[in-house]
């Protein structure tokens, strides 16, 4: 009994923490519709800043709490700066660009923290006055955790009062629905958005700073925090603050339950619930999204007015000039082993593999309009599928190269059936949930997948063992894959897919089954990602769960966005630019993330349509130019 | 009388589509002016250009003697120019009182000062529904709320985009009375309309727009006397 109560209280404390991490993200999304990838970085920054401030002020009660509040205020001010300097410039860009910009911030902040605080974990002092523990039913329970349990509901109530009982809150809620109209009523809505962003950042910083007595400041906290925050926000319903609270409670308690249960034997089979903690939140998210597509307390997103994203131009079949250019690139690539260094060949294999991976992701993001945060799952299924068939089933390598992608396609068929029922950010989050589930299976099933060590000795057949031979195999597969994806794009099926993306209602009315079209697209994209994954495994000779980690999915997303979502050559250019940059910078400096992030920020601010998209707009003929002066979210009757 | 609001050779584009072409007209202080024209003639675009929601490519817009074209909508609104959109755009999750709160601006010398109480006198239906979300109101009530919300900014001039559109005849009569009330309170009114009957009932002066160009400017009486103009531009 006592241990159940203790676990329950542990669950409440972790729920409070989760709520503080997530609530700012939900607030920012609800008002600005920006999915702030850097939210976890702000949380991490709060923890580090609190460490330094308390170190300077001294561990007195005033020093401690002053340090915590000071850290949160600093992070809030940084949030305001980010909004004014970066996000404000790209509200009118396609919404995924905001995601890309905030991802660049993740990279920059990570290296800024590394530069200022160094790579060591930093453990802060205990909170004065809350350093001990109290006995609850005879079991000691940390006083500080009791304090945290109270902070969550307190923040919830204060936020509710701010949003519902002040003029500022009324204006913010109005701007959430129609920011243009708020401006036309004489309110400078830009400062409203800056304020919301600063408040969200402040809450993230506070969440981090309050963790100082509980966990050391560490460099990877940004990604774990953002992943937790996304899950809580999505389970609760994007933009719903009470929803975030409820979701935090649910996940905090379920995690505590899993730890409390430990290993349970049911009918002779031992089930390790504590192992589940790694993935349980994603299982909860997948179940919630399947049952309630908008989260526990979320509403279908009303089209927000006055955001003013430009209308993106449709992709077009290439003319003869582009076809010739494509052939020229292919010829140049074929000549590479003869002309380039061995290292260039190895790098070129990487670039080709990622080009196909990015092209497959572009296929669902562009024509099908589905953004995936978990596309690496299919890359990984292809890689693991091929490797396991080789190592465990003893199939010849050539056969596994064909069957690996089939495994990826089957995975995509299964997950896709649930994914296509959702849309927008919820869809993206469900793809992330499935990817995390697949990742945790690969990570934990030591006996079959090799667990965190992965599989080694995944080498191609003898005739392909030379780098040059493998390079030509890769080039042939990738060229064929890219060519096929382009053909599908401009087939009647591709047109139907784009019709469903641009006007679901009208496509439905002319008899197109959009869900089915999207599902097929998901399976096609999964299969091609699987080809890329299988090639990647054989090129390295080993695979690890890294191949389907979140960071791989995000890399793919960045490649597609860098190139331009609605251009077919965009992902190829994006993959080449990203892989080459990463490789070049990483060999020359410890701070490659910051340089990569700064480069991405520059590209986002200078080329709001992606590299290729912007080139097309500049070079394009008169009828290809981007519509200018579009105000409002769609053309309306004059 | 001096011109409160003046457009001089205004050009506006949506992408490459030329919407307004050298639009010029003026509204004098204290008068009710109507912009008449068919669907797609450019009425809404004209009003949006004035309030800054659509970028003006060429020409000048002056309000109370100062250039306002190129400024942000909130700056223009703060100078005392109120805008009531055609499709109402009320904040459906906010209550009637909260909708009014969003429109609130400090009192302005030379313009009538409105309070919730005064507005509930002008639009009695809203008084009963003050705590209800805007999304639950009927179409006519929403139309009244959108006007009341703009009046909370104490404008000296108000732009009304098709205030009679889609309303029941009895509500249209109330709307006409409300517009005459605004004029009596000293507010300059520029409204866009397709309905000549409604325009005649409220306006002093009329400007006819067709394909983005002004084709006629004159008093309502002059328009009434000019059968040819009415037949050319307003007959359905």
Residues A328 and A269 in one domain: no
Looking at the fold, whether A256 and A342 belong to one and the same domain comes out as: no
- Chain B residue closest to A623 (CA)? B16
Is the per-residue pLDDT at A61 higher than 80? yes
Q: What is the pLDDT of residues A474-499, one digit of tens each?
A: 999 999 999 999 899 989 999 999 98
CA–CA gap between residue B209 and residue A621 (Å, rounded): 33
Interfacial B residues in 45-104 facing A (CB < 8 Å): 45, 48, 51-55, 57, 72-74, 77-78, 83, 85-87, 89, 91-94, 98-99, 101-104
Residue A140 pairs in a beta bridge with A135
Mean pLDDT within A571-594: 85
A437 vs B51, more confident: B51
Q: Give the Cα separation of A126 and A192 in Å (integer).
A: 37
The model's pLDDT over A540-563, given as tens digits with 9 standing for 90+, comes to 888 998 888 888 898 898 888 888
The CA distance from A515 to the nearest CA of chain B, in Å, is 31
Residues 6+ apart with CB under 8 A from A213: A124, A125, A126, A127, A130, A131, A144
Tell me which residue of A42, A370, A423, A406 sits closest to A198, measured CA to CA.
Answer: A42
In this prediction, residue A628 carries a pLDDT of 35
Which residues from chain A sit within 8 angstroms of residue B74, using beta carbons? 183-189
Residue in this structure with the two tokens 């309309």, named with its chain if needed = B193
Nearest-Cα distance to chain A for B224, in Å, is 26
| Shortest CA distance from A305: residue in chain B | B89
- Tell which wins on pLDDT, A459 or A18: A18
Confidence class of residue A315 from pLDDT cuts 50, 70 and 90? low
Task: Kindly state whether residues A258 and A332 are assigned to the same domain.
Answer: no
Is residue A308 in some structural domain? no
Residues 6 or more apart from A584 whose CB is under 8 A from it? none
Domain-located, residue A88: yes
CATH number of the structural domain spanning residue A134: 1.10.3470
pLDDT of residue A302: 59
Does any domain span residue A47? yes
User: Do residues A389 and A274 share a domain?
Assistant: no
Look at residue A343 and tell me if it is in a domain. Answer: yes
- A99 and A206 housed in the same domain: yes
DSSP A549: S
Distance CA A80, CA B173 (A): 49
Q: What is the mean pLDDT of residues A260-272?
A: 76
- For B28, list phi and psi in degrees, rounded to 5: -85, 155
Give the residue from A31, A169, A181, A302 with the most B CB atoms within 10 Å of its CB, the best one to mutate. Answer: A181
For residue B236, the model assigns a pLDDT of: 57
pLDDT of residue B15: 79
Structure tokens at B13: 């584009």
Q: Are residues A390 and A470 in the same domain?
A: yes
pLDDT at B34: 96
Per-residue pLDDT for A529 more than 90?
Answer: yes
The encoded tokens of residue A462 equal 């003898």
Among A512, A535, A550, residue at a domain's last position? A550
How far apart are alpha carbons A577 and A611 in whole angstroms? 10
Could you tell me which chain A residue has the CA closest to the CA of B19? A638
Is the dihedral angle over the CA atoms A598, A599, A604, A607 positive or is it negative?
Answer: positive
Residues of A in contact with B77 (CB under 8 A): 183-186
DSSP string, A521-541: HHHHHHHHHHHHHHHHHHHHT
Q: How far is A304 from chain B (nearest CA, A)?
A: 11
| Whether residue A473 is found in the same domain as residue A406 | yes
Distance (Å) from the C-alpha of residue B168 to the closest C-alpha of chain A?
22
pLDDT number for residue A477: 93
Q: Are residues A135 and A86 in the same domain?
A: yes
Number of domains in chain A: 2
Is the pLDDT at A632 greater than 70? The verdict is no
Q: Strands across the sheet with B205-210, in order? A: B81-84, B157-161, B188-193, B32-36, B205-210, B213-219
B231–chain A Cβ distance below 8 A for any pair = no
The residue of B15, B116, B147, B151 whose CB has the most chain A CBs within 10 angstroms, and thus the best one to mutate to test that interface, is B15
Contacts with B44 from chain A: Cβ below 8 Å: 636-638
Mean pLDDT calculated for residue range A262-274: 75
pLDDT grade, residue A633 (50/70/90)?
very low
Q: Are residues A255 and A399 in the same domain?
A: no
Same domain as A457, residue A523: yes
pLDDT digits (tens, 9 = 90+) for A154-180: 999 999 999 999 999 999 999 988 989
Residue A314, pLDDT above cutoff 80: no
pLDDT tops 80 at residue A304: no
Residue of A nearest to B79 (CA): A186
User: Residue B82's closest CA among B176, B5, B196?
Assistant: B5
Q: Is residue A212 part of a domain?
A: yes
Distance in Å from the first CA to the final CA of chain B = 34
Give every residue of chain B whose pLDDT is below 50, as ranges: none
Same-domain pairing of A18 and A67: yes
What chain B residue is nearest to A631 in terms of C-alpha separation?
A: B54
Which residues in chain A are contacts of B42 at CB distance < 8 A? 638
According to the 3-state scheme, what is the secondary structure of B189-229? EEEEECCHHHHHHHCCEEEEEECCEEEEEEEHHHHHHCHHH
> What per-residue confidence (pLDDT) applies to A454?
85
Please answer yes or no on whether A174 and B98 come within 8 Å at the CB atom: yes
Distance of CA A285 to the CA centre of its chain: 15
pLDDT tens per residue, range A102-120 = 989 999 999 999 999 999 9
Q: Please indicate, yes or no, if residue A496 is contained in any of the structural domains.
A: yes
Q: State which residues form the domain around A432.
A: 321-550
What stretch of H or E contains A104? helix A95-117
- A76 occurs within a structural domain: yes
Are A295 and A286 in contact, with CB atoms under 8 Å apart? no
What's the whole-number mean pLDDT along residues A404-433? 90
Q: Residue A305 carries which DSSP code?
A: B
Structural domain ending residue among the three candidates A550, A578, A610? A550
Q: Which domains does chain B have, with CATH numbers?
A: 3-233 (3.40.50.300)
CA-based nearest residue in chain A for residue B135 = A177
| Contact at CB, B83 and A188, closer than 8 angstroms | no
Q: Which helix (H) or strand (E) element contains residue A187?
A: none
Is the C-alpha dihedral spanning A520, A526, A530, A531 positive or negative?
A: positive
Query: Nearest C-alpha of chain A: how many angstroms from B46?
Result: 8
User: Regarding predicted confidence, which is higher, A367 or B91?
Assistant: B91
Cα–Cα distance, A159 to A143 (Å, whole number): 25
- Contact yes or no for A628 and B15 at CB 8 A: yes
Contacts of A370 (CB under 8 A, 6+ apart): A364, A419, A420, A423, A427, A428, A518, A521, A522
Whether B13 has its CB under 8 Å from any CB of chain A: the answer is yes
Interface of A with B (CB under 8 A): 167, 170-171, 173-174, 176-178, 180-189, 305, 622, 625, 627-632, 635-638
- Residues A136-160 pLDDT 10s: 888 888 999 999 999 999 999 999 9
CB atoms within 10 A of CB A456: 14
pLDDT given for residue A623 in this prediction: 38
CA atoms of B36 and B27, how far apart (whole Å): 14
Q: Around Cβ A271, how many Cβ atoms within 10 Å?
A: 13
Strands A133-136 and B188-193: unpaired
How many CB atoms lie under 10 A from the CB of residue A481?
23
| Interatomic CA distance for residues B168 and B185, integer angstroms | 26
Q: How confident is the model at residue A95 (pLDDT cuts 50, 70, 90)?
A: low
Distance to chain B for A164, nearest Cα, Å:
10
A98-A102-A108 Cα angle (round to 5): 145
Q: Is residue A29 part of a domain?
A: yes
Q: Which residue of B has its CA nearest to A626?
A: B15
**Could you tell me if A339 and A212 lie in one domain?**
no
């Amino acid at each position: 009994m006592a241990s159940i109560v203790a676990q329950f209280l542990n669950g409440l404390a972790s729920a409070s923490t989760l709520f503080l991490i997530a609530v700012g993200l939900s607030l920012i999304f609800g008002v600005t519709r920006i999915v702030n990838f850097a939210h976890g970085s702000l949380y991490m920054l709060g923890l580090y800043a609190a460490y330094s401030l308390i170190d300077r002020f001294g561990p007195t009660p005033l020093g401690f709490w002053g340090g915590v509040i000071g850290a949160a205020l600093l992070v809030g001010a940084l949030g305001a700066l980010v909004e004014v300097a970066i996000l404000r410039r790209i509200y009118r860009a396609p919404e995924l660009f905001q995601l890309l910009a905030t991802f660049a911030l993740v990279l920059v902040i990570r290296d800024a923290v590394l530069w200022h605080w160094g790579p060591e974990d930093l453990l802060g002092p205990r909170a004065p006055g809350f350093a001990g523990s109290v006995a609850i039913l005879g079991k000691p329970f940390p006083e500080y955790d009791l304090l945290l349990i109270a902070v969550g509901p307190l923040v919830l109530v204060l936020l509710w009062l701010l949003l519902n009982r002040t003029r500022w809150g009324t204006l913010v809620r109005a701007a959430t629905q129609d920011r243009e109209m708020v401006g036309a009523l004489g309110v400078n809505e830009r400062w409203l958005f800056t304020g919301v962003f600063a408040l969200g950042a402040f809450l993230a910083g506070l969440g981090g700073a309050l963790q100082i007595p509980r966990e050391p400041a560490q460099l990877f906290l940004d990604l774990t925090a953002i992943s937790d925050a996304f899950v809580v926000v999505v389970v609760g319903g994007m933009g719903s603050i009470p929803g975030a609270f409820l979701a935090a409670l649910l996940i905090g308690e379920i995690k505590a339950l899993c730890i409390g249960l430990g290993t349970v034997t049911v009918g002779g089979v031992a089930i390790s619930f504590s192992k589940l903690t790694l993935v349980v939140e994603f299982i909860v998210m997948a179940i919630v999204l399947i049952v309630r597509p908008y989260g526990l307390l979320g509403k279908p997103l009303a089209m927000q007015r006055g955001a003013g994203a430009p209308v993106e131009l449709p992709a077009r079949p290439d003319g003869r000039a582009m076809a010739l250019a494509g052939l020229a690139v292919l010829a140049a690539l074929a000549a590479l082993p003869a002309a380039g260094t061995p290292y260039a060949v190895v790098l070129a294999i990487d670039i080709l593999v990622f080009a196909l991976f990015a092209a497959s992701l572009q296929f669902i993001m562009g024509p099908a309009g589905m953004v995936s945060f978990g596309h690496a799952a299919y890359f990984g299924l292809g890689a693991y599928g091929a490797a396991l068939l080789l190592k465990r089933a003893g199939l010849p390598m050539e056969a596994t190269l064909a069957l690996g992608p089939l495994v990826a396609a089957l995975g995509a068929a299964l997950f896709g059936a649930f994914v296509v029922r959702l849309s927008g950010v919820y869809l993206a989050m469900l793809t992330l949930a499935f990817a995390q589930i697949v990742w945790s299976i690969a990570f934990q099933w030591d006996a079959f997948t090799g667990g965190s060590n992965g599989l080694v000795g995944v080498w191609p057949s003898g005739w392909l063992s030379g780098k040059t031979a493998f390079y030509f195999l890769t080039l042939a597969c990738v060229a064929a894959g890219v060519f096929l994806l382009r053909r599908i794009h401009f087939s009647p099926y591709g047109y139907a897919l784009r019709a469903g993306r641009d006007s679901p209602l009208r496509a439905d009315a002319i008899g197109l089954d959009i869900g089915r079209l999207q599902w097929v697209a998901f399976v096609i994209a999964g299969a091609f990602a699987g080809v890329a994954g299988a090639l990647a495994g054989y090129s390295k000779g080993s695979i690890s769960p890294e191949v389907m980690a979140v960071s791989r999915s995000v890399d793919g997303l960045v490649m597609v966005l860098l190139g331009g979502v609605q251009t077919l050559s965009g992902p190829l250019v994006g993959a080449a630019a990203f892989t080459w940059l990463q490789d070049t910078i990483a060999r020359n400096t410890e701070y490659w993330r910051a340089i990569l992030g700064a480069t991405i920020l520059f590209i986002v601010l200078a080329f709001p349509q992606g590299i290729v998209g912007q080139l097309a707009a500049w070079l394009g003929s008169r009828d290809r130019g981007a519509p200018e002066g579009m105000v409002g979210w769609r053309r309306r009757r004059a | 009388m001096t011109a409160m609001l003046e457009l001089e050779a205004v050009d506006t584009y949506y992408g490459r589509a030329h919407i307004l072409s050298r639009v010029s007209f003026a509204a004098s202080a204290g008068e009710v002016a109507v912009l008449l024209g068919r669907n797609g003639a450019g009425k809404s675009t004209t009003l949006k250009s004035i309030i800054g929601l659509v970028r003006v490519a060429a020409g000048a817009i002056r309000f109370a003697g100062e250039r306002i074209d190129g400024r942000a909508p909130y700056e223009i609104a703060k100078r005392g120019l109120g805008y009531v959109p055609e499709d109402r755009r009320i904040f459906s999750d906010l209550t009637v009182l909260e909708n009014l709160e969003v429109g609130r601006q400090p009192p302005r010398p030379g313009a009538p000062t409105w309070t919730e109480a005064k507005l509930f006198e002008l639009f009695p239906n809203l008084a009963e529904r003050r705590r209800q979300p805007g999304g639950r109101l009927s179409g006519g009530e929403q139309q009244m709320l959108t006007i009341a919300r703009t009046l909370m900014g104490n404008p000296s001039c108000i732009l009304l985009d098709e205030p009679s559109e889609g309303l029941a005849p009895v509500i249209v009569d109330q709307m006409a009375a409300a517009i005459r009330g605004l004029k009596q309170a000293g507010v300059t009114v520029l409204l866009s309309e397709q309905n000549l009957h409604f325009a005649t009932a409220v306006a002093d002066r009329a400007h006819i727009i067709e394909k983005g160009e002004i084709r006629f400017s004159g008093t309502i009486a002059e328009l009434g006397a000019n059968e040819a103009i009415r037949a050319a531009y307003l007959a359905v």
